[in-house]
Each structure stands twice: as structure tokens, then as C-alpha cells.
Structure 1
Amino acid sequence: MTPLDSSWLAARPLPQPDGDIDKNSRGRVLVAGGSETVPAALRLTGEAAFRAGAGKVQLATVERAALALGLTMPEAATFPLPANDAGELGAAAGSVLAGYLDRCDTLVLGPGMGAEAAATAILSAVIGEPRKGLSLVIDAAALGACADMPNAVRAHEGRVVLTPHPGEMAQLMQRDKSRPEDDPEALACEAAERFGATVLLKGAQTWIACPNQPVLRFAGGGPGLATGGSGDVLAGIIGGLLSRGTPPRTAAAWGVWLHGEAGRRCAEQIGQLGFLGRELLPHIPRLMASQR
């Protein structure tokens, strides 16, 4: 086990753009998810991707929420996806979303999706044909759909980051819900090997596992991060870093550290409890700059 701290990050700096660059070459992120119940989750994820340095962000969500979401985030393009009767993404959203993948370098799938979304059909359509230049962050309800698709995830040759909390990890690994609490490090390693992916198991301590690499442990952050929208921000940070060409394990580690340190700063400035997920966002660029 290796502690994730500023020394580890200093040895693995983020790629920096050169002077002659446009928004497309800075990194293109597509965030897909949301629902009529949680229509603005993607705003947090999309802004986090921008704050982490992505040049272009696109948001794909249920059609009834797409226009309103676009109005709240004028920097991003917004695409409507078919919904089901529950107001969640429907099965037909998968093929529509797959048609957008050539427009992005990184897909973040899952923020704001609920249990009634057609996650299995959507994930199958999205990951069925791996694209060599595409990396993925799979989050929230989309994680459970991965449980029966380890080979499809592995086919992406390590370009996938999975971001479960303990309950989602139990679902992902089809285990008793108490198991992630018993030995989170071992379970994160097992999941990383099974899916051939970078796995970060979120909690009071976050474990980052990747095949054939030492496990990383991050002990920072604090209880204030256990709030609605916080995970959506983390997924967006990682997606933004991946789109810039950061390797998956490094992007996950930097994302966890930036998210945790932003939480620490909010706790100092606002209070240990009560700060909002969106209040993490302005800290991200300053924290990245502090580690150069």
C-alpha cells in the first residue's frame, strides 16, 4: 500500500498544454446521465471537467431536462436522450449515445442516473465496440450494470475508471454489502483484476487499485464530502484529467486528491459540515496550480 500525497503527485505531474492549442486538443469530455428527478447532476460533473482543464464539455441527458441543463451551463453543448416512463434514461438512449462517442476523448457515464434507468442496455451499447482513443469513467447507477460485463470492460485495455462507494462495490462484485467494509483494499484489488480497470473505492479512506500496480490510499477529505453532488464532482474531475491525456491510474489519484483537498479547504472556510458539492469546484484550478 502506498500513501497518496503531494510527494506521489509531484512525481507524476499532469500533462500541460503547449501554447499553440485549441479547445478540442485540450480534451473533449462527454458526460451522460441525469434524470427528471436529478436534472442538474450533470452540471456539477461537467463544470468539474472544465475546472480540471478539459477544453470542451458535452452533456447528454433525458430530453425533458436537456434544454434547462444547457441554459444553466452555457459553456457546454447539450444533447437530448430518450427517457423511459420513470423519467430516467431509457434503453433507446444507448444507441443514441454511442453515436456521440466520436466527438469525445472521455465519456463519463452515470452521474444522476437512478435505479430505474436502463443502465445495462445503455452500457452495453456504449462499451460494445472499444475505441482506441476513448477513455471512460463509469459512475453511480452505471456501475451495477458492469457486474455482468467484465470481459466487455476489459476489452478497453485499461482505459476505464470505476468509482464505487461501498454499496456500489458490493453490487459491482456481487457480494454481501458488509464485505467492502471488512477489507476494502483487498476488494478494490479484486475488482481491478476482474475488470482490468482502475478502481477507486470511495469512503472515509479511498483506495485506488490498478492491475500490477501498488494500491494507493488517500486518508484526507473529511466528512463534509459525504453530501449530495460530491461524487458527481469527483467523476467530472477524473474525466477532465483523462481527456487531457493523463493515464487512468494517475487521473484517478489526482482526482481523489483534488476532490479531497477541495473538501478540506471548504471545511476550513465554511465549516466541517454544510458546504455544498458545487462549492468544491472553484478550488480545483488553484489546487492543480499549487502542485506544479
Structure 2
Amino acid sequence: MANSKTYAIDISMRTLREWPLPMPHFDGDKEVRGHVLIVAGSREMPGAALLAATAALRAGAGKLTVATAASVAPHLAMALPEARVMALAETAAGGFSIEAARRLGELAHKVDALLVGPGMQDEAASAELVRALLPRFAGRKVILDAAAMELLRPPAEQPLLADPVDCEHFRFEEAVLLTPHAGELAHLCGMDRQAVMGDLHGTAQRHARRWNAVLALKGPLTVVAAPDGELWEHQGGNIGLAISGSGDALAGIIAGLAARGAVLEQAAAWGVALHAAAGEQLALRYGVLGYLAREISAEVPALLRTLAPA
């Protein structure tokens, strides 16, 4: 890809074809296709784990482990016969106990990508768990979504910031991938949402640098920013994608692409484009409104065949 810090590269079909995904050799096995670990769900939102996990497999990952709330793990295991499902102890507020970090850390040497966050509850427990997981998964590709991004939040007493340059609460030692929409980014930074919306490119770029993260700032116009300042943008999809569970499917697609070998920026760019294209395909079949998040991932293999033929 061209290295430009002054403009955003359009994530077009041509861009994707010139930035091909890693493809396993024809005689490779499931290990070659990558192992993804997804820490997700809760007793009130078990479906988020199912959506993300299914999407990761549809994106091409070869092995899948899902760690979820003990209260729903048996049901998820029945719904996901392709996966190993781990039951994690729960907090009173519906999050995961910090003891989960040790159990999950034992898998770090076996997995290629880690996704944390879809459908998780108890923001404080989620932040504590992510802090404990990061050093254990050093050297692995890490994607943080939804509640897993809470460790970025400034102290509660900090006032709303008009200038995002002032938001320097946290910095990752190794780059991770973050997937906020504008409202989530505003929440994480103690900013006003309109300040984010007024400067999507600049806000994404500044926070990617300050946090040392690949930032996929989601919306009708999605901006992907790398820590070195490089920017990509994608405009596509339709309003039908604005539905519960859609973000979980996107996070799973990105994690699956990362597990099979894509670097974080590439996984984000391809994931955003595939997610939007899936929405366009579903709108042709069902109409713009009314298709379901669970249907998004089923469109991905055919789209991959079109964009990245074996």
C-alpha cells in the first residue's frame, strides 16, 4: 500500500484486490488457517458471542475457541459445534471474574488472534480483565470491541473535553485494534459526540497515535487509522446494518481475518468492506430494513471468493 499521512485511502474494490489477504496453501490444515479466541457474551447477551464466533469462521479462521459466561456456555456450545467453549466465572454485575485471565492466558501460545468484548457486561470488570490479558497475549493480534475498550476511559471526575488532543489517558505497549463508533469514542475520551463527528479523520488519527492502536471508527463513513498516521476510509453499506448485533458480526469478521494472517490494518479495512458489502447483498434480497445481524456472516464466503479468489 502507498504510504501517505496526508489523505485517506479509499477502501475500494481495487484497493482490496491490490492488498490481497493471506491465503493458506492448498495442502494446509486448520492450524495454517489460524486459531481465534473470542472472549464475549454474558448471561443477558449470549447471542453476541455466537454472532462474533460465526463471523470469524465465515471469514476463514480454521480453529475457534469461545470463552463466555458459565451460565450460558452449555447453550453456546450446542449452537457452535465447531468451537471449543470455555465457561468463565461471573461477577455479580454479569461480567467475568479476574480469575479468567489466568485460564485464558494458558491459551496465548496456541492462538493467533484474540477478540474481547462483544456482549460483555460489567464495565469495571471488563477493563480489569483486559488489563490482565494484554501482557499474557503479547505478540498476538488483539481486537478490543464494546465493553473491552473501557480501560481507555479517563477518570470519572475528568470533565468533557472539547479538544481530543488532551485525551492521553492510556497507551498500549503493543498495537491493538479498537472498533468504536463515534458515540463510544466520545464516551471513552470524555468528549462530546459532536466533537468526534465534526472531525472523524483527525480524531481517529490522533487517538490511533496516542493510544498506539489501529482504530476503526465505525459509521456511515468508517475511518481506519494506524498508529503511524496512515488513514483509510470506507463509505458503503446501508441503514439496515444499523441493527443490534451488527457490530458483533463485524468484530468477528475482523478477528477471523487477523487469525488467518492479515495485519491489523488490513483486517480492519477488509472487515469493514466485507461487512458493508454483506449488507448490500442482504438489502437486495430482503429490502434495506428487516434483515438480521445473524445473516451478515453467511454472505462473507462468497464475497471473499469474488474479491480474493483462491
Q: Counterpart in 2 of 1:96?
A: 103
Aligned CA-pair RMSD: 1.5
- Which contiguous aligned blocks of 4+ residues in structure 1 show a shift greater than 4 angstroms? none
Is there any run of 5+ residues in structure 2 with no aligned partner, and where? 1-7, 155-168
TM-superposed deviation, 1:180: 1.5
Distance of 2:237 and 2:195 partners within structure 1: 23
Q: 2:52 aligns with which of 45, 50, 57?
A: 45
Q: Give the aligned length.
A: 287
State which structure, 1 or 2, has the greater radius of gyration over its C-alpha atoms: 2
Distance of 2:187 and 2:305 partners within structure 1: 37
Q: What percent of counterpart residues are identical?
A: 38
TM-superposed deviation, 1:144: 1.9
Q: Counterpart in 2 of 1:258?
A: 274
Deviations 1:16-42 (A, max 9, x none): 110221112210000002110001211
Q: 2:184 aligns with which of 168, 174, 179?
A: 168
Q: Is the 8 A contact 2:237 2:280 kept in 1?
A: yes
Q: Counterpart in 1 of 2:148?
A: 142
Distance of 1:146 and 1:135 partners within structure 2: 18
- The letter for the 2-side match of 1:60 is A
TM-superposed deviation, 1:114: 2.4
1:85 aligns with 2:92: yes
Q: Is the 8 A contact 1:144 1:168 kept in 2?
A: no
Distance of 1:20 and 1:222 partners within structure 2: 38
Q: Counterpart in 2 of 1:107?
A: 114
Give the SS at the match of 2:186: helix
Is there any run of 5+ residues in structure 1 with no aligned partner, and where? none
TM-superposed deviation, 1:269: 0.7
Change over 3 Å in CA distance of 1:71–1:117 after alignment to 2: farther
Q: Counterpart in 1 of 2:129?
A: 122
Q: Counterpart in 2 of 1:209?
A: 225
TM-superposed deviation, 1:172: 2.7
Distance of 2:260 and 2:183 partners within structure 1: 30
1:147-162 matched pairs, under 5 angstroms: 147=153, 150-151=170-171, 153=172, 155-156=173-174, 158=175, 160-162=176-178
- The letter for the 2-side match of 1:9 is L
Change over 3 Å in CA distance of 1:45–1:117 after alignment to 2: farther
Q: Counterpart in 2 of 1:223?
A: 239
TM-superposed deviation, 1:225: 0.5
1:285 aligns with 2:301: yes
Q: Is the 8 A contact 1:86 1:116 kept in 2?
A: no
Distance of 1:99 and 1:181 partners within structure 2: 40
| Structure 1 length-normalised TM | 0.94
Deviations 1:173-219 (A, max 9, x none): 33223221111111110111012121011111111111235311111
1:230-249 matched pairs, under 5 angstroms: 230-249=246-265
- The letter for the 2-side match of 1:140 is A
TM-superposed deviation, 1:250: 0.9
Give the SS at the match of 1:127: helix
Q: 2:194 aligns with which of 167, 170, 178?
A: 178
Q: Counterpart in 1 of 2:81?
A: 74
- The letter for the 1-side match of 2:28 is I
Distance of 2:137 and 2:275 partners within structure 1: 29
Give the SS at the match of 1:64: coil
Give the SS at the match of 1:285: helix
Distance of 1:211 and 1:108 partners within structure 2: 19
Distance of 1:34 and 1:173 partners within structure 2: 24
Distance of 1:126 and 1:34 partners within structure 2: 17
